[in-house]
Amino acid sequence: MPETRETVLVLDFGGQYAQLIARRVRELNVYCEIRPCHTPPEQLAGCKGIIFTGGPGSVYQPDAPLCSPQVFQLGVPVLGICYGAQVMAQLLGGQVAPTAAPEFGETPVSFSKESGLFAGIPDSICWMSHNDAVAQLPQGFVSSAASQGCPVAAMEDPERKFYAVQFHPEVGHTEHGDAMLRNFLYHICGCRGEWEMGSFTQQTVEALKERLKGKRVLCGLSGGVDSSVAAMLVHRAIGRDLTCIFVDHGLLRKDEGDLVEEVFTREFDMNIIRVNAGPRFLAKLAGVTEPEQKRKIIGEEFIRVFEEESAKLGKMDLLCQGTIYPDVVESGTGQAAVIKSHHNVGGLPEDIGFEGLVEPLRDLFKDEVRRVGLELGIPQQLVWRQPFPGPGLAVRIIGEITAQRVKTLQEADAIFREEVANFGLEREIGQYFAVLTGTKSVGVMGDGRSYGETIALRAVNTTDFMTADWVHLPYELLGKASNRIVNQVAGVTRVVYDVTSKPPATIEWE
């Protein structure tokens, strides 16, 4: 744990909301990190407060995830949420049992007027999701909130600064959830609220100046927000001692390669080598139709190009990467079944001969990275760039990838994006793009029969990319985009809209 930074720790019991809790805390200007629930207590010492997450199990089951009871001896305030509340009750001598009826969703809750956690908060709606609840309070605790189905909707021992809520203050449906978290952080843990992106930027640049003095740093720039912001921070610190290699694999969206080059070389005078490797990638991909094969080829070729270019630069000391906090958390939790191998193109081999890595965004969530990007003056267009898969348009072209098909998709995709922007929906939609489906269909153009490609449009909203809903785009937008695509993009005779959510579909078609 950073020794000097005021930090609150989230202890993860397997709930789906660990990252959301940490983000909420940071939005309230307190730095927060996530730790597994079995972290040894001595590694938690020194923090300002600990928050237990929810979890899928029952605390009385044999393999239930629990933390060490010594966590309660650290002298640090604790807030238990849902399953975390039950962990607190169980470990401190109370009892947890199934409720008469489970509570799910928006539930009216009344609060004790004496509770510091609920100071200034009226009785209101909270988000519940539980089968179990605290049936008997541990010694020293009082009940501090109740709902119809849950007499201990919250409990507390203000003396020891232990607080627990059966509902989820971190989700938007809990009307005063933010105020509760604020009370916990500021009034109970005594935080001062020092976590701000302005000071992060300044402190990080200063620290990088110190660490990178006399060093040459290499960075793989993709134009995505993470690598762009990481590179800009390092650039601020060491200027042209940072060299960026931008491998343009020719599978970017229309004009995107030029935009990246323009912004970073012209506006910021960054030392960038753009490698126009499109033809080389196309040659390797010729005749390949299998999606995983495409990803593999692109991932490997990317590394090869990068290695060749970096070899020309002579000895570089350090490699800069745009790793962000969710990458760090997720790589520590083991993986579910591999549905697609998400090669992070830009992910580089470890044995490339650097003395170390520079990862200035390792502690930040995506929205924080964006705020730093804006601080650094990176244009909105890049800061708000929607996620784009490393293998680029290759996984949106079903069947063989040819220069002509790439161009067709780029044109159709650009029109769709333009229309989404015309309707003012750019920031409302998580991800939206066109797909070249590989299905041919008959059309009529003028008086003649035509036989051309089918474009699918896809737009999804998602919080974590694990699940996603298709977006109910206005018919006028779809109509306009469809009309323009069939009229302006040669070889396209039909446009369809993808109305499948994830699961069962994935976001990308391949």
Q: How far is the CB of 507 from ligand XMP (least distance, A)?
A: 3
Q: Which is nearer to ligand XMP, 236 or 343 (CB)?
A: 343
Which DSSP symbol is given to 265?
Answer: I
Q: How far is the CB of 433 from ligand XMP (least distance, A)?
A: 8
CA distance 465 to 1: 28
Q: How far is the CB of 404 from ligand XMP (least distance, A)?
A: 23
For residue 259, the SS3 value is helix
Q: How far is the CB of 32 from ligand XMP (least distance, A)?
A: 25
CA distance 433 to 424: 16
Q: Which is nearer to ligand XMP, 276 or 463 (CB)?
A: 463
Q: Which is nearer to ligand XMP, 97 or 425 (CB)?
A: 425
For residue 79, the SS3 value is strand
Q: How far is the CB of 134 from ligand XMP (least distance, A)?
A: 38
Q: How far is the CB of 396 from ligand XMP (least distance, A)?
A: 9
- How many C-alpha atoms does 382 have within 13 Å on its Cβ side? 28
Tell me if 469 sits within 8 A of 461, measured CB to CB. yes
Cβ neighbour number for residue 396 with a 10 Å cutoff: 24
Whether a cis peptide bond, with omega within 30° of 0, leads into 504 is yes
Q: Which is nearer to ligand XMP, 289 or 441 (CB)?
A: 289
Q: How far is the CB of 255 from ligand XMP (least distance, A)?
A: 19
Q: Which residues contact 335 (CB under 8 A, 6 or more apart)?
A: none
Catalytic residue, chosen from 168, 176, 249, 343, is 168
Q: Which is nearer to ligand XMP, 221 or 395 (CB)?
A: 395
CA distance 107 to 130: 12
CA distance 117 to 306: 53
Closest CA to 454 of 479, 433, 437: 437
DSSP bridge partners of 456: 435, 496
Closest CA to 87 of 129, 57, 126, 45: 57
Distance (Å) of CA 506 to CA 345, 459, 499: 19, 12, 12
Chain positions contacting ligand XMP, by CB under 6 A: 295, 339-340, 342-344, 387, 389-391, 395, 431, 465, 502, 506-508
Catalytic residue, chosen from 67, 82, 126, 244, is 82
259 φ/ψ angles, rounded to the nearest 5 degrees: -60, -45
Count Cβ atoms within 10 A of the Cβ of residue 18 and give its class: 0-12 exposed, 13-18 middle, 19 or more buried.
Answer: buried
Answer yes or no: 170 catalytic: yes
Q: Which is nearer to ligand XMP, 52 or 416 (CB)?
A: 416
- Length in residues, the chain: 510
CA distance 497 to 473: 10
Closest CA to 237 of 201, 272, 267: 201
Catalytic residue, chosen from 170, 175, 256, 309, is 170
Answer yes or no: 82 catalytic: yes
Cβ neighbour number for residue 53 with a 10 Å cutoff: 27
Q: Which is nearer to ligand XMP, 157 or 248 (CB)?
A: 248
Tell me if 263 sits within 8 A of 229, measured CB to CB. no
Tell me if 343 sits within 8 A of 385, measured CB to CB. no
- How many C-alpha atoms does 469 have within 13 Å on its Cβ side? 7
Q: Which is nearer to ligand XMP, 33 or 510 (CB)?
A: 510
Q: How far is the CB of 300 from ligand XMP (least distance, A)?
A: 13
CA distance 328 to 361: 10
Q: Which is nearer to ligand XMP, 157 or 510 (CB)?
A: 510
Q: How far is the CB of 441 from ligand XMP (least distance, A)?
A: 24
Q: Give catalytic residues, as residue numbers.
A: 82, 168, 170
